Amino acid sequence: MCQGDTLVVWKLDRLARSMKQLIETIESFQDRGIALKSLQDPIDTSSPSGKLVFHIFAALAEFERGVIRERTSAGLRAARERGRVGGRPPALSAKDLQVAKAMLKDSDITVAAVAKRLNVAPSTLYRHIPHARSTSLEEKADA
């Protein structure tokens, strides 16, 4: 885009993922003499009033993000205090992990076979047993 051009967007959230990124993008446009007009938001940076509206929206969006962050943190903290643990349950129990390690000691059993037996993806085994492949390959090479 060149100086004097106007970028027209449907909505500001289509232009950037965060308010910080949006502000940086618009400031970059302004430095290069490029205006921005949003069809759904009352923003047209080619006019002083449009710039004012943009900065007010930017401040409100930043405030809203901060409030959401505080509420989320408070909710997670309260849940932890009540004994609730978030996240998904582990794919492998400690017992399953022991079984997997024992099975992988047998050089004839592949990681894929162990994963199938435990009903998990091979990548899950590699994540929990990083040297699963190299250990079984070294044992096969020694045999």
**Domain boundaries along the sequence of the chain:** 6-81, 94-142
Q: What is the pLDDT of residue 22?
A: 83
77-119 pLDDT, tens per residue? 999 999 988 888 888 999 999 999 899 888 888 999 999 999 9
pLDDT, one tens digit per residue, over 129-142 is 888 766 444 454 45
Judge whether 36 and 6 are in contact, CB under 8 Å.
Answer: yes
Per the CB < 8 A criterion, the answer to whether 18 and 40 are in contact is: no
3-state secondary structure of 93: coil
List beta partners, residue 36: 7
Question: Is 44 buried (19+), middle (13-18) or exposed (0-12) by CB count in 10 A?
Answer: middle
Residue located via tokens 């921005």 = 36
Q: Which CATH number fits domain 6-81: 3.30.499.10, 3.10.20.340, 3.40.50.1390, 3.40.50.300?
A: 3.40.50.1390
Indicate the average pLDDT of the chain.
Answer: 84
Check residues 43 and 82 and name the one with the higher pLDDT: 82
* Residue 38 neighbours by CB distance under 10 Å: 21
pTM of the model: 0.46
User: Is 61 within 8 Å of 69 (Cβ atoms)?
Assistant: no
Share of the chain above pLDDT 90, in %: 29
Beta partners for 37?
Answer: 8, 44
